[in-house]
């Protein structure tokens, strides 16, 4: 099952393998990293929450019983999987190409112009998150739309510490494994917090994909 609105609504997505699902873990449930393991299986499946999955790892011994991700909002994240023989597999994860490029505490929000622009097929977007008024970690979304306002992908859907971040978008591989978006004008929107009246922030900028 998958939700895109924090549990208000759920819908089913398929996945490979047989047996009961023993564990699911994700860093973002749309446009980010999601893993799951099945009972009696030595395989960790990985995907972006779209129903398109791949094999991320095969256990060197035993089968997997549980999968989890690092709960500390820092980079790189860690993903763990526990095996029936007592072993643990883990890996470092950089979510959707996002990385913290500067850890100093900024004073105000900022959404940079993507570069290069126009681009083909990869571009980078930099944004700045200052401290929230009541807590240090902010809920952050960075969403790409087309000219008709249709959501193309969510590049970031995380709770982030204050800092300067950079995220990449590869338009040649979206949806993952499903082809390429067409040339044209796209918009990317940064949303921080619930709304701008509660210490939040929102801003939208335009970018051009040329093939």
Q: What is the pLDDT of residues 97-151, one digit of tens each?
A: 566 666 567 788 999 999 999 999 889 999 988 877 655 567 889 999 999 998 8
Class of domain 99-209: mainly beta
Tokens 């959501």 map to which residue? 151
Name, in order, each residue with C-beta under 8 angstroms of 196's C-beta and a sequence gap of 6 or more.
Answer: 202
| Residue 87 to residue 64: CA distance in whole angstroms | 9
What span, in angstroms and rounded, lies between the C-alpha atoms of 174 and 201? 27
Q: Are strands 138-145 and 184-192 parallel, antiparallel or unpaired?
A: antiparallel
Tens-place pLDDT, residues 9-58 = 777 777 778 888 887 876 653 345 677 888 888 777 666 555 566 677 78
pTM of the model: 0.56
Find, among 103, 107, 125, the residue nearest to 170 by Cα: 125
Per-residue pLDDT tens for 166-176? 898 888 866 55
Domain ranges in the chain are 21-93, 99-209
């Amino acid at each position: 099952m998958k939700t895109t609105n924090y549990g208000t609504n759920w819908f089913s997505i398929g996945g490979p393998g047989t047996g009961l699902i023993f564990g699911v873990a994700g860093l973002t449930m749309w446009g980010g990293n999601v893993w799951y393991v099945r009972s009696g299986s030595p395989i960790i499946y990985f995907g972006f929450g779209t129903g398109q999955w791949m094999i991320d790892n095969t256990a060197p011994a035993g089968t997997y019983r549980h999968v989890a991700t690092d709960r500390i909002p820092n980079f790189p994240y860690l993903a763990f999987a526990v095996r029936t023989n007592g072993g643990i597999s883990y890996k470092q994860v950089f979510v959707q190409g996002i990385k913290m490029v500067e850890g100093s505490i900024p004073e105000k929000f900022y959404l940079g112009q993507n570069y290069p622009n126009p681009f083909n097929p990869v571009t980078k977007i930099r944004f700045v998150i200052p401290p929230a008024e009541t807590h240090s970690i902010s809920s952050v979304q960075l969403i790409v739309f087309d000219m008709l306002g249709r959501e193309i992908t969510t590049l970031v859907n995380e709770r982030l510490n204050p800092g300067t971040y950079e995220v990449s978008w590869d338009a040649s591989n979206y949806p993952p494994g499903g082809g390429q978006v067409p040339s044209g004008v796209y918009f990317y929107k940064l949303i921080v917090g619930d709304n701008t009246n509660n210490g939040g922030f929102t801003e939208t900028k335009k970018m051009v994909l040329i093939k």
